[in-house]
Amino acid sequence: MLVIANWKAYVEDLGKAKKLAALAKRLSRGTKHALVLAPPAPFLGALAGKNASAVRFSAQDVSATAGGARTGEATAQAYAAAGASYAIIGHSERRAAGDTNAVVATKMAHALAHGLAPILCVGEPERDSEGRYLAFVREEVAAAVEPLSPKERGSVIVAYEPLWAIGKTAAAAADAEDLAEMAAYIRKVLAELLPGKRAERSVILYGGSVEPANIRALAAGSGIDGFLVGHASVEPATFAALVAALA
């Protein structure tokens, strides 16, 4: 499985960042799962330079613009040069800060143009009994994937992150049954957008209060290929327990 540690802005100290990266490197040697770290931008270059052989790195976001006179922007090209292999795009915390589906689509294109595998985050704010949440997720996937070329579409990773499950505790996360339904639905939507049978091999992740207590149950039989983990990825003992629980 693919486990992406989304450090968000929880890690603000280079010493802590280095300790977590060293831990991930150690853990990666003892597990068959692939570990990816998404540190805050200022730490990515320093960490990726030393550790990229054992763990891979992801941007938490990329700029919607190319380089130039754009103070404060961190472009996909700069992230790739610093050692990132992936980019989280359209995280709900970026969407809340103003990223529309159109902005997300532009960021997808920038990431792909510079060799970053985009981790497209989608997820409904709430569940309703009429199934409108499915149409909401479909729209987020389609808006981001439709503008891409057939070849680019094949490298999109989709992270299902329902807003109602983010930043809580394991008890509030989606359950394996919800997840199986949603993973199958996202794969169906991708099958309409990707050439041939490519969607069968698309990587689908889940994020939203993944903790050591629920990761195993969520992995088993839900049809997903990995996790995007926030708060449980920034405390060394918790992250170690999480990877151990998955094994």
Point out which residues bind ligand PGA (CB under 6 A).
6, 161, 166-167, 207-210, 228-232
The least CB distance from residue 217 to ligand PGA, in Å, is 15
**Is 91 one of the annotated active-site residues of the chain?**
yes
Active-site residue among 93, 124, 140, 161? 161
Residue 117 phi, psi dihedral angles, 5° rounding: -75, 120
Residue of 39, 123, 46 lying closest to 86 (CA atoms): 39
Q: Which is nearer to ligand PGA, 194 or 227 (CB)?
A: 227
Distance CA(39)–CA(7), nearest Å, equals 5
Closest chain position to ligand PGA (CB)? 230
Q: Which is nearer to ligand PGA, 124 or 161 (CB)?
A: 161
**Is 161 one of the annotated active-site residues of the chain?**
yes
Distance CA(59)–CA(57), nearest Å, equals 7
Active-site residue among 91, 110, 114, 231? 91
The least CB distance from residue 73 to ligand PGA, in Å, is 22
What are the residues whose beta carbons fall under 8 Å from the beta carbon of 37, sequence distance 6 or more?
4, 5, 7, 20, 21, 24, 47, 51, 55, 56, 57, 58
Q: Which is nearer to ligand PGA, 110 or 231 (CB)?
A: 231
* Identity of the amino acid at 160: Y
Q: 197 by DSSP, 3-state: which?
A: coil
Q: Which is nearer to ligand PGA, 59 or 166 (CB)?
A: 166
Residue of 203, 196, 189 lying closest to 118 (CA atoms): 203
The least CB distance from residue 183 to ligand PGA, in Å, is 17
Distance CA(50)–CA(2), nearest Å, equals 21
The least CB distance from residue 53 to ligand PGA, in Å, is 25
User: What residues act catalytically?
Assistant: 91, 161
